[in-house]
Amino acid sequence: MKKFDVLVIGSGAGLEVASFAAEKGLSVALVEEGRLGGTCLNRGCIPSKMLIHSADVAETIKSSQKFGIKSKIEGIDFTSIVKRVSEVVDTDSSGIEQAVRKSGNPVLYKVRSKFIGPKQMQAGNEQIEADKVFIVGGTRPSTPPVPGLEDTPYLDSTKALRLEKQPEHLVIIGGGYIAAELAHFFGALGTKITILVRGERMLDNEDDEIADWFTKEFSKKHKILFKTETEAVSYQDNRFIIKLKNDGGKLESDQLLVATGRTPNTDILDVKTTGVDVDDKGYIKVNDYLETNVDGIWAFGDIVGILPFRHTANDQVGFAIGNAFTDKKVPFDPFAIGHAVFSSPQVGGVGKTEQELKKEGISYKVGKAELKDTGMGGALQENGLAKVITDETGKKILGVHIVGPQASILIHEAIVAMKGNGTVDAITQSVYIHPALPEWLQRAFFDIG
């Protein structure tokens, strides 16, 4: 069995741990089955946002007439759009792999691997072990137990980002952020979209009021069937047949996208063999210092299920390195880590939702503002809702939630304020440029009762 000082599983944010340890002169093994760079670079946030920008451009052209500009889209070169994005992503990933292999440390094991002991792995034909282990193995698209689904060539989010032929009709099972973003991408470029949602609205993890607003606006652009579940799926003559439960009839389409969530890769890695505790969904349990219950094993990123975004993992990596390689341990604090949905309209959020505060029995105050009531709202000829939540004094910011144009950018105003002194004054006492978009958020803070 080959011995290393450090073993890192996952080449997304985990690559930073591997690089740090190697620079310190430690011997490092890096285990990565797929392309280097992790989910974000290869099959997540980077390619999806590049593709979505094409959809944003198309939507801008389609709406130009309301600004007195007559324009039209003469054609969509869908294959070219996807090919460009794939080439950029693959070039970046290949560059990372070449750099790792050239350095010689870390040693790359690009093969499916699994644990065979607390700090031991079977990596292809080799067995490796280390004193310090970092599990940053990520997640993958989950597959619901729908009869017949596994026997069809359905799309998950990974395959959808590489699809080179534009669908005529895309049925999407799921109502979360992946469903919303990919519906926007394909729909804005001309694909007919039908979304099957189990509940009564989309983006159910967002603040209720924001989710309702988004659902109403998104329903104007795409067909959404609520309280709808799939009973069975079949595939014949290049067509999907989706049978709906409760006598809901059936749908036919040339493509089917399943976007019903993600599942941690702990089963593939056989993490249970390490003795590391996982929760009932398979996510690794860690303490505030990103330590598992097994001494010398740390975990972070999507595989621990704490705000599973790449920027969360980017933040966690510094804590993991500091806590593992220095004498001073610092707890990871997920406070004020925001998120965004790059759909149309966009959604941005940070902190507590109103329903969470009600469930926790915490007193609060709310302020709201609609974009249409601001100067920039008139210029953009668009509307949206900004909602801010404070403690019962109206001074400490507990959460901010936005739906509307540039929400993914605007939410950073709140993130900076919350990470700073965390008070409403940071925004209400600032002098905003008039009539810039951030005035919209400021008005919501002025509205706090």
Q: Are 201 and 347 in contact (CB under 8 A)?
A: no
Whether residue 239 sits in one domain with residue 101: no
Domain hosting 94: range is 2-141+263-325
Helix, strand, coil content of the chain in percent (nearest 5): 35, 25, 40
Q: How many domains does the chain have?
A: 3
Q: What is the pTM of this model?
A: 0.95
Whether residue 279 sits in one domain with residue 188: no
Whether residue 136 sits in one domain with residue 22: yes
Whether residue 354 sits in one domain with residue 292: no
- For residues 183 and 194, what is the distance between their CA atoms, to the nearest angstrom? 9
What tokens appear for 267 in the block? 């089963």
AA letter at 115 = F
Q: Which of 206, 233, 260 is the last residue of a domain?
A: 260
- For residues 315 and 173, what is the distance between their CA atoms, to the nearest angstrom? 32
User: CB burial class (10 A; 0-12, 13-18, 19+) of residue 346?
Assistant: buried
390 is a domain residue: yes
Whether residue 270 sits in one domain with residue 252: no
Give me the pLDDT at residue 449, please. 77
AA letter at 448 = I
Pairing of strands 250-253, 239-244: antiparallel
Residue 225: alpha-carbon gap to chain centroid: 23
161 is a domain residue: yes
Give me the pLDDT at residue 215, please. 98
Q: Which residues of the chain register pLDDT less than 70?
A: none
Whether residue 439 sits in one domain with residue 370: yes
Give CA separation, 132 vs 5, 28, 178, 325, 400, in Å: 6, 10, 35, 10, 39
* CATH label of the domain that carries residue 390: 3.30.390.30
The residue among 214, 213, 220 whose CA lies nearest residue 193 is 220
304 is a domain residue: yes
Whether residue 160 sits in one domain with residue 133: no
**Residue with tokens 């008070």, as numbered in its chain:** 423
Give me the pLDDT at residue 265, please. 98
340 is a domain residue: no
Whether residue 234 sits in one domain with residue 249: yes
- For residues 193 and 222, what is the distance between their CA atoms, to the nearest angstrom? 6
Q: Are 238 and 254 in contact (CB under 8 A)?
A: yes
331 is a domain residue: no
Give me the pLDDT at residue 164, please. 93
* CATH label of the domain that carries residue 9: 3.50.50.60
Whether residue 37 sits in one domain with residue 11: yes
337 is a domain residue: no
- For residues 405 and 380, what is the distance between their CA atoms, to the nearest angstrom? 9
Give me the pLDDT at residue 77, please. 98
DSSP sequence for 286-317: --TTSB-SSTTEEE-SGGGTSS-SHHHHHHHH
What tokens appear for 221 in the block? 């652009």
88 is a domain residue: yes
- For residues 158 and 396, what is the distance between their CA atoms, to the nearest angstrom? 40
Whether residue 222 sits in one domain with residue 189: yes
252 φ, ψ to 5°? -125, 145
Q: Which of 260, 281, 309 is the last residue of a domain?
A: 260
Q: Which of 260, 284, 316 is the last residue of a domain?
A: 260
SS3 134: strand
330 is a domain residue: no
Q: Dump pLDDT digits (tens) for 49-67.
A: 999 999 999 999 999 999 9
Pairing of strands 28-31, 107-109: parallel
The set of catalytic residues is 434
Give me the pLDDT at residue 280, please. 97
Whether residue 228 sits in one domain with residue 279: no
Residues in the chain: 449
Pairing of strands 223-225, 192-196: parallel
Whether residue 109 sits in one domain with residue 14: yes
